[in-house]
Structure formats: structure tokens, C-alpha cells
Chain A
Amino acid sequence: MGQLVGAFCTSHIAFSSQGVEDKAKRVIDGFREIGRRLKVARPDVLIIASSEHGPSLLPLGPQPPFTVGIGDTIETYGEMSIPKVRIPGHQQFARAFIQAAREAGFDIASIEDLRADHGIALPLLLALPEHSIPIVPLIININAPDIMPTPRRCYQLGRVLRRLIDARPQGERVAVMGTGGLSHWVGVPEMGRVNEDFDRRFLDLLASGRGAEAAEWSPEQILKEAGNGGQEIRTWIFVAGIVGEASGEVLYYEPIPQWLTGMGALSFPCA
């Protein structure tokens, strides 16, 4: 059987440090720590779940609930001065994931020419500048409210991926990372608001192995408490589905209104 060797959740932006130098350092240290742990874990493939911000899945559609990147390379989009690089993909694992999901009742879209925006590129390149580990991107839709998957559905898809990992060839090492959140309001009048109380409750739930409880939150509840950008916590709930009731370690939490976001990261110990 394959082995889950690392599971992480992290916010996926980093803006100018001007005026927030200490907070920015803690955030960057968090990304570096994830990278250090990933190197120790030595995964053969890294599944990265993120929302998408427009370059590949245009906001006016089509907007599938779930989309898997199946390219043999994934090019970064390069916004926010993020380096433009090509990251190796893992086509075989990506196709196996789509197949396993289909057998479990999920109809997942695929994209061969994904332009990875900051949701994938920023955490990956800050954690692993050499970006040598093949990745499988999973895009979880938060841009089209009518078809946005429920948190419960994301958790269930995480369970599907865990069963696939357990069924993979002997010795295959798999790591997962969910990126996005925490509370933030994007492109709307509330932009700049951060709900620290919500963020800490969410982090506590996942860190104590109770991600299944967050999976029962409704999209409306998340929207009200964490904003339209907070809908990205689905990627963390997806990871919670993969690790089940395992407890996690909060690497840091920083509410940074200047960055428009509550920033945080979690690491789950794996065998």
C-alpha cells in the first residue's frame, strides 16, 4: 500500500511586508517550515488543493465543482511577482484520482493546461523553491455560489483520496496540502475585514482532529463569518477528510488586515 507521509494546510498569499514586518516573518517562516517537513517526508507526489482565481477557470465559467490538473507540467501564472516556472505534474496519479472519485460518485473535471496562480504557486514555491516534487493540483470551486461544493462533499472527497493512497503501489509516498483562507472578503465592500474568532475556532477544530464538524458548516454560515474568500477553507476540510481524526499542529496564526486575510498554517503528523 501507499503511504500518507505529510499533510498540511496553509493560507496562500504573502503581500508586502511593509508595516507588518514581524507578522510577515512568521508567515514566511510557516511556509519554510512546511517545506522543511516536506523534505523530511520525501513524497513521490504532492496533491495540492486550492481555489482558482481566474487564469485557468475564468470567473464567468465554466466553473466545475472540482477540477484536477492532469498536465505533465504545470506552468505558474506569475501574478504578484511570483516566479514563472514549470512544475512537474504526476499524470498517472491524477488520472487514478479522477477514476477513484468517479467510482465513489464524484464527477470531476480535468484540465491539462492549468496556469497555476498564487493559490498553488505561492505556497509551493515558498515551501519548496526547487519545486522538484511532482504535483497533482485539485481546484475546489468557490467562484460560482450555485455549484460550489459543500464542505461535507469536500471532506468526503478527502476520504476518497485517502482510500486511493492506501490502495496505491507498495512504497509510494504521498503528501497533501490544502491552501487558502482563512477569513477574508475579496472584491466586496467588506474587503479588509478579518474574523479572528472564526479563524481560531476553525484552527482549533482541525488541530483537535474534529475537522468532520467543520465539514457540517453550511456555505451560508462560512460566507457570513469568514467572507467570500473564507469559502477557501474547503481545501483545509478536504485535507481533514484525508487525515480523519488525526490531531494537527498549528504552525502559526496571524490576523493581518493589511493583507486582507487571516493567515495560518497547520501540519498533521503522518507515519
Chain B
Amino acid sequence: MSAIELNRLIQRAVAYEDAARQLASLDRQLIEQYDLTEPEKDVLKAPTPERLAQVGVHPMLAMWLMILRSPEITSSMDAGEYFRDQEDVQGG
């Protein structure tokens, strides 16, 4: 079964910062705009690679959703420590 609605929802969060914030907090106003099945709604609450693959989420969008929804993944996939000395060279 294709998870086109779920994929569209996650893709919107990749494209727009406001949607990313809404999806991160599982904002109902955003989620209700998409025709999701109950298993798809459950995946949003606790996304894992296995569950996302099971419902048919694009692997790249699966990655984005896990980053948005999991503080642990977000902090482990952070490169900020390598750029701390660059504050004075950041342009435009």
C-alpha cells in the first residue's frame, strides 16, 4: 500500500520550516489536512526505520521524520561542534 499522503505530509515539512515545526510537535491542524490511516498516524508518533518501511515511506523522508520527531537522533546527527570556530567567517 502506498503511503502517498504520509509521504506528502513529511515532504511538506522538508520544504517549509513552519510545517517542520508543526510536524515535530504532531500539530493536529497540520496532520488533519492529510488522509492518513491509523497505522500511519501511529508511525508519526514513534517512527522507526522498520515501521516507516512497513507503511511505505520513502527512505529519505523516513530519515527526515525521524530527525524531526526524535531528539536523540537530532542530537546524534549534529555537526555543530565542528563549526564553532567559524562564527567569525560566516558570510551573507
Other-chain residue from A59, A83, A187 in contact with B11 (beta carbon distance below 8 A) = A59
A13 adjacent to chain B (CB < 8 Å):
yes
Query: How far does the Cβ of A85 sit from chain B's closest Cβ, in whole Å?
Result: 5
Say yes or no: B86 contacts A143, CB within 8 Å: no
Give per-residue flags for A77-100: 1 if the beta carbon is below 8 A from chain B beta carbons, else 0. 001111111100000000000000
With both beta carbons as reference points, the residue of chain B lying nearest to A130 in the complex is identified as B89
Number of A-B contacts (CB under 8 A): 98
B78 adjacent to chain A (CB < 8 Å):
yes
B79 adjacent to chain A (CB < 8 Å):
yes
How far, in angstroms, from A125 to B89 measured CA to CA in the complex?
Answer: 10
Q: Interface with B: A50-58, A205-213, A237-245, which one?
A: A50-58
Tally of B interface residues using CB under 8 Å: 34
A169 adjacent to chain B (CB < 8 Å):
no
How far, in angstroms, from A240 to B67 measured CA to CA in the complex?
Answer: 33
Whether A13 touches B86, Cβ cut-off 8 Å, given contacts A187-B52, A187-B63, A191-B49, is no
How far, in angstroms, from A255 to B86 measured CA to CA in the complex?
Answer: 27
Say yes or no: B86 contacts A187, CB within 8 Å: no
Residues of B participating in the A interface, judged by any CB pair closer than 8 Å = 7-8, 11, 14-15, 49-50, 52-53, 57-64, 66-67, 75-83, 85-86, 89-92
Q: List 23 interface pairs A-B (beta carbons < 8 Å), by A numbering.
A: A14-B82, A15-B76, A16-B75, A16-B76, A16-B81, A28-B82, A54-B60, A55-B14, A55-B15, A60-B61, A73-B92, A79-B67, A80-B80, A82-B79, A83-B86, A85-B92, A118-B79, A129-B86, A143-B60, A186-B63, A187-B62, A189-B53, A228-B59
Residues of A participating in the B interface, judged by any CB pair closer than 8 Å = 13-18, 28, 53-55, 58-60, 73, 79-86, 118, 122, 125-126, 129-131, 143, 186-191, 228, 258
